[in-house]
Structure formats: structure tokens, C-alpha cells
Amino acid sequence: MRTAAALGLFMTLTAYGAGSIYDYQLKTIDGAALPLAEYKGKVVLLVNVASQCGYTPQYAGLERIWEKYKQRNFILLGIPANNFGHQEPGTEAEIKAFCQRKYSVTFPMASKISVTGPDAAPLYQYLTAGAGPPRWNFTKYLIDAHGRIIRRFDSKVEPESTELTQAIETALGN
């Protein structure tokens, strides 16, 4: 118990003490290490995704903005999470197959993590501390080219909305 509490405190302190998303590492949906430092110099959109959510059709819009901006120092990272309504119950292989089959997703995907609550991944502890917690699936965090949080967009903000695309354009310097 004492070790678990100490680990939780360390993870929390690490999240609050971090200077950018570059201080964190995830795994790809295929299980490979994914240090977010690989994204230095790029504008990043982090999205907690789920396959069985009312917002799941946003995968199509996410893919379109990925196609539109990927050649312009932009990364879109889908991060599966089962925190809200247990709407992402599948394995990584099932999630990947669903995304490719139903929405032809080609943007990078991370392995499933927790994005809220006491077991939230350190990255999401950092995002929550800086811009507020995700309130549901398909919450979007826009990150500048220095790895700092620009803004959180709630689930209802469609990927191709003027609100989000203008923020991306501004972050890209256009």
C-alpha cells in the first residue's frame, strides 16, 4: 500500500513538474515504444478515442484532418481509452482492425490507456493539470511545436470544425 501511494505521488509530481508532452512515453497500438519527444517541432493533436461511442464517427473527420495537415509538421495521435461508458472494451488488435476497416484510419494510434481518475496515465495527468480533464471520449488536446498545451476541445467539437481547424492553422503558423 505504501509503495502504491508513493508511486502515485511520484507519477503526480512527475506530471505536474513536466515541461511538455516530450517528457512522456506511450506505446503504439502495436506495442512499440513511443516517446513523445519524437514529435518535437510538430503541432500535435491528442485525441482519446473509443470504438463504441456516439462520437465514434469523428474518426472519419480525424482522418481527413490528418490527410490535410500531415505534410505540414502535424501529428494526430489517437489514444484509445475505456474510461467513459466502457466504450472501448477491445484489445489493441481489435481496435486497430475496427479503425482501419470502418474508417480507413492511417493516423498514428497509441495503445489503450486510462485518461482520467486515479489510474490516469502520466501524460493525461499532465494534460488535465494544464487544460482540464477529458470529459468524455473524443476530447482533443492541441499541442504547440514546443510540446506545450494550447487548448482542450470537448467531444462535441467536430474535427473539421472551423474552431479546431483555425486553431491548428494558427499553431502551424498560417
Interatomic CA distance for residues 105 and 108, integer angstroms:
8
Active site residue 99: no
Q: Single out the catalytic residue among 12, 25, 52, 53.
A: 53
Which amino acid makes up residue 43?
A: V
Contacts 24+ apart (CB under 8 A), 63-69: 63/103, 63/104, 63/105, 63/106, 63/107, 64/159, 64/160, 65/159, 65/160, 65/164, 65/165, 65/168, 66/106, 66/107, 67/106, 69/43, 69/168, 69/172
Query: Cell digits for 126?
Result: 499532465
| Catalytic residue ranges | 53
